[in-house]
Amino acid sequence: MLIALIAHDKPGALQIRKDTRDAHLDYLKSTGVVSQAGPLLDDEGAMIGSLVILDVADKAAAEEWAANDPYAKAGLFQSVTLTAWKKVI
């Protein structure tokens, strides 16, 4: 099942994102469940969140994946939503 993880960073947390980025990217690559991923950007092009499309067995697996993301463990996110997603195009 595909799950869209949409996370918004806490205000003023860009340094947390930068400090944790390598561990986050390693996690994305090593887990084998990430279909697509990239940062959300503000109007000036600064990173303000994340969009990750997970291909997992169920929502519980997505929740576990999200909880173990180094960004989440570092306290980067103000909010995280996990929503089932259907790829059309």
What structural domains and CATH numbers belong to the chain?
2-84 (3.30.70.1060)
- Predicted pLDDT of residue 80: 98
Confidence of residue 89 (pLDDT cuts 50, 70, 90): very high
Mean pLDDT over 22-47 rounds to: 97
- Predicted pLDDT of residue 82: 98
Confidence of residue 45 (pLDDT cuts 50, 70, 90): very high
Confidence of residue 47 (pLDDT cuts 50, 70, 90): very high
Q: Is 9 helix (H, G, I), strand (E, B) or coil?
A: strand
Q: With pLDDT > 70 as the criterion, what percentage of the chain qualifies?
A: 100
- Predicted pLDDT of residue 51: 98
Query: Average pLDDT of the chain?
Result: 97
31 close to 37: Cβ distance less than 8 angstroms: no
Give alpha helix (H) positions in 7-79: 14-31, 59-68, 70-73
Q: How many residues are there in the chain?
A: 89
10 close to 75: Cβ distance less than 8 angstroms: yes
